[in-house]
Amino acid sequence: LAKEVVKTNVEVHLENMNLTEITGEAGSGKTQFCIHVILCTILPKSISCLQQGCLYISTVQKLSETRFNQFFSTYASLLSDKEQQLALMRLFHKHFNPNEFEKFFSIEIEKFIVDNSIKTIIIDSITGIADTQFIEDNNEVNYKERSKFLKIYLRLFKELIVKYNLFFFVTNNVSANLNEGNDASKPCLGKLWENGVNTRILLIKEKKEILSDF
């Protein structure tokens, strides 16, 4: 299948047919990056976007309407009201807990992709699904069960990507403390997940010096 490219205004070219991870510490801009990808998907071809459906799945916090609308109004400022309404109709936002997530991907996902002409799927974040549900009463992670989960969903995600020629993004946290000089490229969820991702984009939070008068 031929690949397509979506360009965001953060100067990154992203190809479909890849499982792409957006990783970085809290506040590094992962959700903001996702909003750029959403807009590059749903906005019309007349402004060099894909004009296709986008499924955004949140697992920790719902997508902020205020934040999204700020970006949307900038991107869509030259569009007519009708074009803006049509673009917004191409965005599907679902907020899932782990049980709802598993049910959706085991039963509903393929019909949803077809019925809504989905071109891009974003999961923000995979950590909210694949980490918290495997913490046991003693606060230890059940790594064996988590590995089973990851194997199932890495395979499923890649099957969907190939079958429906998708752009597919997941956000993930990092387990290192970037401010202490540790390995900034180390994502959460371990080697199994790390090796299963096709493309990894690391976002670094800009450090600003604070000047004092004292």
Average model confidence (pLDDT) for the chain? 85
Which residue type sits at 107? I
Residues belonging to the chain: 214
Taking the C-alpha atoms of residue 68 and residue 100, their distance in angstroms, rounded to an integer, is 24
Neighbouring CB atoms inside 10 A of 180's CB total 6
User: In DSSP terms, which residues pair with 135 in a beta bridge?
Assistant: 141
In this structure, are residues 152 and 193 in contact, taking their beta carbons and an 8 Å threshold? no
Q: What are phi and psi of 170, to 5 degrees?
A: -130, 140
Tokens 């004009």 correspond to 51
Tokens 């047919």 correspond to 17
**Helices and strands, number each (H, E), in the chain:** 8, 8
In this structure, are residues 131 and 188 in contact, taking their beta carbons and an 8 Å threshold? yes
Taking the C-alpha atoms of residue 21 and residue 202, their distance in angstroms, rounded to an integer, is 8
**CA-based end-to-end distance of the chain:** 62
Per-residue confidence (pLDDT) for residue 20, from 0 to 100: 94
Q: Could you say which residues of the chain have pLDDT below 70?
A: 1-14, 176-185, 206-214
Per-residue confidence (pLDDT) for residue 184, from 0 to 100: 53
User: In DSSP terms, which residues pair with 141 in a beta bridge?
Assistant: 135
Reference 146, options 167, 131, 163; nearest CA is 131
93, with CB counted inside 10 A (0-12, 13-18, 19+), is middle
| CB proximity list for 1: less than 8 A, separation 6 or greater | 17, 162, 165
Per-residue confidence (pLDDT) for residue 4, from 0 to 100: 55
Which residue type sits at 84? Q
In this structure, are residues 187 and 172 in contact, taking their beta carbons and an 8 Å threshold? yes
